Amino acid sequence: MSGRLLVYLHVAIKQRALQSELESTLPGAEVIAVGRIGDFERLLKERVDAVLALPVVLSAYKLSAGLQGRRAGSDEERYVLVGVGSPPVASRVTTVGALDLLGREGTNAFVKGLLGASPKVERVTKFEDLLPLLQMQRADSVLLPARLFPELGSASKLALKAQEISKGVGLPAAASLTQNGPDLLRAIGRMRANVAKLVGVDQWH
């Protein structure tokens, strides 16, 4: 198998480590993992054979998913609002920290759509940058996938409390861009379980 796979996902490990794990389970593929929307846009204009990202990102770039991740039988996962001392109430949050998915306007729309409210959004590009927003009181809450909350809590001595958001967010999906793309998607569907778990998935369909 050969081909270039562009991966744009925010996970609890560094992008270089994610890239290495994916390359180890996709022999023959060239994997490029990025954490910034600007890098994703730039590389998308170069020759890539397939893309692995959240469905909301694929949709924004008019890419059609040919492979969808699932966990516990669902195509979606829950997000949580995390605050200090008590679980945040979405309608009362004034500033929320969030991973920058789609640039300023796109990320603001994503966050407001999830919360049903319009707080100020502080964007960061890495998972590890969310916690300092709470520690430095630059945000009164942060928004992240529920599965990453234990990782956030283990890195802090703050009394972090989470409130689950009722709306779900689509789990990672893959889109084929060239004639080499379908082979890459099939290989992603067979990836080792421990690597799939890194991106929040336990099966593909």
State if pTM tops 0.75.
yes
- The domains found in the chain, sorted by start residue, are 3-73+171-204 (3.40.190), 76-169 (3.40.190.10)
The Cα 92–Cα 59 span in angstroms is: 30
Averaged pLDDT of the chain: 96
Which stretch of DSSP H or E encloses residue 67? Answer: strand 65-70
The pLDDT tens digits of the residues spanning 124-177 come to 999 999 999 999 999 999 999 999 999 998 888 889 999 999 999 999 999 999
Edge-first strand order for the sheet with 160-170 is 120-124, 95-99, 141-145, 76-84, 160-170
The pLDDT tens digits of the residues spanning 14-53 come to 999 999 999 999 999 999 999 999 999 999 999 899 999 9
Which stretch of DSSP H or E encloses residue 107? Answer: helix 103-115
pLDDT score for 1:
67
